Amino acid sequence: MIDAIWYFCSFVVTLGILVAFHEFGHFWVARRCGVKVLTFSVGFGRAIWKRQGKDGTLYQLGIIPLGGYVRMLDERIDEVSEQERDVSFNAQSVYKRFAIVAAGPVANFVLAIAVLWLMFGIGVPTVKPVIGDIKEKSIAAEAELERGSQILSVDDIEAYDWQQVQLGLMSAIGDNETVLTLRTPAGNEVTRTLDLTSWNFDPETESTFGSLGIGVYQPTVYTELSQVESGSPADMSGLKQDDKITHIAGKRVDSWSKIREVIAESAGQELLFTIERNQVEQQISVQIGERESQDAVIGYLGVVPVTEPLPDNYVFTHQYGFFEGLAKGAEKTWELMVVSVKMIGKLLTGDVSVKNLAGPLSIAEGAGVSASNGFVYFLSFLALLSVNLGIINLLPLPVLDGGHLMFYSIEWVRGKPVSERVQDVCYRIGGVLVFALMALAISNDIARFAF
């Protein structure tokens, strides 16, 4: 229940920011073009807060946080006096009307740049995309990817962390192949082509790189001891640094995870360890200690295993200065725009399943999870949604900004506006299509959260 409340609040904040900036884009340009704005609303329905500005605009918050609108004086809707005709929207030139409508999506792209600029200024804690284990008989195995190699780019998208790898591979969905540029453990830069013709990716159960058989690098933990805590059960039983554990209670243990599991389950018990010390095998009786963990008693030994060293600068903070961060924010925004357009195209061609469409429940979950992970992760999610909102609004559907821009483009070419009858028919068709897409996205959400 607490998670649901957190997700809802995160969703409202996220959508409120996106809608406010989108509508402010329309509002700001409309005012600069001399158009009278009657209402600036974030949210629909009954107003839970409103204030009349000195500029004559009514500013308000609607009770339904699923959008917003800017209502401008328009002769097609309002009774406009002769004195106010020049400040009505429909009386403006096609260029001004085009600019006013286009300003909404542009504001979302500007917001994405600003948010990413802030994110890169704060710094994003991350890890390099170093490849771990490769799944046998997978696409990655067939491409001969090597454990310990660092992914430098996916096609033309720079991969400085796993999120960028995910972005690049999402862009490649529906393609026959994708090219990875890598730096091998030996320091050589190589390229590998992954054959994607048999790629089956389920976003509900796995990551893009995981579905290709690529594991995230985790340092190998050996069964050899690098440290024995003084006074610990291990120390009292005679275990020493550099001892290699091979068997416990007569059963072979070939991984540290197995040793940890046996110890945790054997609190207070005496177990016979077989170890290798100075290349000589011997047996030691070890009394397992006890300690409480989350209202349960587990076994305790008091040792630290030998661990494979991490690659150089494996964990780092992705951070830039003032001007470099601005450039990086613009570059990242452009990458998100390109990927979004590609994904929409692949949805239309059927290369990407419509099951990938996310509705408000998925967005709420994403907002809540990202906010829980930290402010910089919330900023990254906000930028992604802002770009998607801008791109979707540019689609040439009459009820969206892109549909209005399409009509204005036709008007500019023809020298006269599209007839109101044709526009009305197009608005009806566009409304049905948008409603169908929303219904599909919501049904996908229901399927995801119900099963």
Q: What is the pLDDT of residues 323-368, one digit of tens each?
A: 999 999 999 999 999 888 888 887 777 766 666 666 666 666 667 7
Which residues have a catalytic role annotated?
23
User: Residues 6 or more apart from 333 whose CB is under 8 A from it?
Assistant: 109, 112, 113, 116, 383, 387
pLDDT confidence of residue 414: 87
Per-residue model confidence (pLDDT) at position 359: 62
Q: How many other β-carbons are positioned within 10 Å of the β-carbon of residue 197?
A: 8
* Res. 124: pLDDT tops 80: yes
Contact of 32 with 92, CB cutoff 8 Å: no
Give the pLDDT band of residue 110 (cuts 50, 70, 90). Answer: very high
According to the model, what pLDDT value does residue 186 have? 87
Mean pLDDT of the chain: 87
- The whole-number pLDDT of residue 154 equals 92
Q: Are 373 and 427 in contact (CB under 8 A)?
A: no
Residue 223 contacts residue 176 (beta carbons within 8 Å) = no
Domains of the chain: 2-33+92-123+379-450 (no CATH), 125-213+309-318 (2.30.42.10), 221-307 (2.30.42.10)
Contact 273, 245 (CB under 8 A): yes
pLDDT top residue among 15 and 26: 26
Express each pLDDT in 278-305 by its tens digit. 989 999 999 999 888 767 788 989 999 9
Per mean pLDDT, which range of 105-109, 273-277, 430-434 is the poorest?
Answer: 430-434
pTM of the model: 0.79
Q: Are 364 and 66 in contact (CB under 8 A)?
A: no
pLDDT digits (tens, 9 = 90+) for 141-178: 999 999 989 999 998 888 988 888 988 888 888 888 99
What number is the average pLDDT over the span 31-36? 91
Please state, in angstroms and rounded to a whole number, the distance separating the CA atoms of residues 401 and 409: 12
Distance in angstroms (rounded) separating the CA atoms of residues 158 and 181: 9
Q: How far is 23 from 15, CA to CA, in rounded Å?
A: 12
Mean pLDDT over 96-114 rounds to 95
Single-letter code of the amino acid located at 8: F
Residue 369 identity (one-letter amino acid): V
Compute the radius of gyration of the chain from its Cα atoms. Answer: 29
pLDDT digits (tens, 9 = 90+) for 200-258: 877 767 788 888 999 998 888 899 999 999 999 999 999 999 999 999 998 999 889 89
Q: What is the pLDDT of residue 355?
A: 67
What pLDDT score does 64 carry? 82
> Across residues 68-92, what is the average pLDDT?
85
Q: What does each C-alpha distance from 183 to 62, 150, 193 come to in angstroms?
A: 53, 5, 14
Residues in CB range of 398: below 8 A, 6 or more apart = 404, 406, 407, 423, 426, 427, 429, 430, 431
